Amino acid sequence: MRRFELTPEQEELQRAARTFVEKRVPTAHLRALRDAKDPSHVSRAVWREMAALGWAGIAVDEKHGGAGLGLVELGLVMEELGRTLAPTPLLATSVIGAAALAEGAEAARAHLPALARGERLVALAFEEERRFAPYACKTTARHAPHGAGWILDGEKTFVLDGPSADLLIVVARTAGAPGDRDGLTLFVVDRALAGLTVEPLAMVDSRGAARVRLASVAVPSADILGDAGKGADLLDRLLARATAALAAEMLGAADAVFRTTIEYLKTRHQFGVPIGSFQGLKHRAAHLFCELELTRSVVRAALVAVERAAPDADALVSAAKARASDTFTRAAAEALQMHGGIGVTDDLDVGFYYKRAKVAELTFGSAAYHRDRFGRLHGY
């Protein structure tokens, strides 16, 4: 079965995304948002344009105003956005948020048309520890003493795109102890609810993240996603999608910073010759090219496997994230080194890639985490 070659429609989408990214969200866009110290870290205007192109609701079913496409298409757009490190809500809202809401009851699905129009942003609030630990949840949800509904208490950190979110998908514990896979429940929480505070975090990659505090937040019972206590299955599915899509973004970023570096090697002269003629640099560039090709294969395989719910999907997601982390980190580090002095200045964009590589690596599990998981999934 084919899994790597794109269909003509997918190629068309890829071209459209590339054109849009070059024109509307070059790296200067990220720089401008950073310099403006905009705490939301995203541009609603840009997002509405992307929604008009059908990308906000790309994976939302047509009944709810979406395009009804899959994770492979999302991955293609993510890869293009990665090229310029474009800070858009696509990952948090369209990859994770839309999939979460689609699994809910009527009240949750009612948000989808607005999401597809680019009018509602979503963020997943699940992290509480210093590093990726999806089941470590200490945030509690208990039945409201009077009438229906739930009361949520706890604190979430590293909530991606939390500052701009209108809705939060909050993971809370309805049973069991921190670390237990059982007993987790996902809720759709309106940002405006009393007791909920969102504190933006200034991150090294200039992207949006927040700490979210929940102090006796009353959530209506209609806003539960799936069955109480059984949320880990849904959370795992959301994280598999998110991790594969993030790996695609990292691939795009790694490829772009690599290309920039190759151009520099051809144009920068020292000792009277282009520095790209030195074998010490050439060989490192050629090695990096191979790493990128391998990353491209495993990222695509992971997206397809998750979309098809293939038996090896989890292992491929871990392989893709581990490989994308290593490759992006190496590509960005080599970019800094090969650009020499100018590379470590803020005037150039390569520093943005280097910083983004670190944040992306630690998001949804580091390379070390996913290598370990790859081994465990294979029984060793």
Residue written as token pair 């949320």:
231
Q: Which amino acid is at 295?
A: T
Of 78, 87, 81, the C-alpha closest to 32 is 87
**Which structure tokens are listed for 161?**
């795109």
**CB-wise, 203 or 285, nearer to another protein?**
285
199 forms bridges with which residues in the sheet? 211
Question: What minimum distance in Å lies between the beta carbon of 378 and another protein?
Answer: 6
283 binds another protein (CB under 8 A): yes
220 binds another protein (CB under 8 A): no
Q: Which amino acid is at 360?
A: A
Q: Which of 75, 276, 343, 365 touches another protein (CB under 8 A)? A: 276
Residue written as token pair 């002269």:
269
Q: Which of 266, 340, 342, 345 touches another protein (CB under 8 A)? A: 266
- What is the number of alpha carbons within 13 Å of residue 322 lying toward its C-beta? 14
Of 160, 159, 307, the C-alpha closest to 240 is 307
369 binds another protein (CB under 8 A): no
**CB-wise, 267 or 345, nearer to another protein?**
267
2 binds another protein (CB under 8 A): yes
Question: What minimum distance in Å lies between the beta carbon of 253 and another protein?
Answer: 18
Q: Give CA–CA dist 145/335, Å, rounded.
A: 58
Longest dimension (CA), the chain: 80
Instruction: Write out the H or E segment, with its range, that includes residue 225.
Output: strand 224-225
**CB-wise, 295 or 329, nearer to another protein?**
295
Q: Which of 216, 286, 340, 342 touches another protein (CB under 8 A)? A: 286
Question: What minimum distance in Å lies between the beta carbon of 281 and another protein?
Answer: 8
Residue partners of 42: CB distance under 8 A and separation at least 6: 33, 87, 88, 89, 121, 161, 164, 208
Question: What minimum distance in Å lies between the beta carbon of 333 and another protein?
Answer: 18
274 binds another protein (CB under 8 A): yes
Question: What minimum distance in Å lies between the beta carbon of 141 and another protein?
Answer: 37
- Give contact residues for another protein (rule: CB under 8 A): 1-5, 262, 265-266, 273-274, 276-277, 279, 282-283, 285-287, 289-290, 293-298, 300-301, 319, 322-323, 371-372, 374-375, 378-380
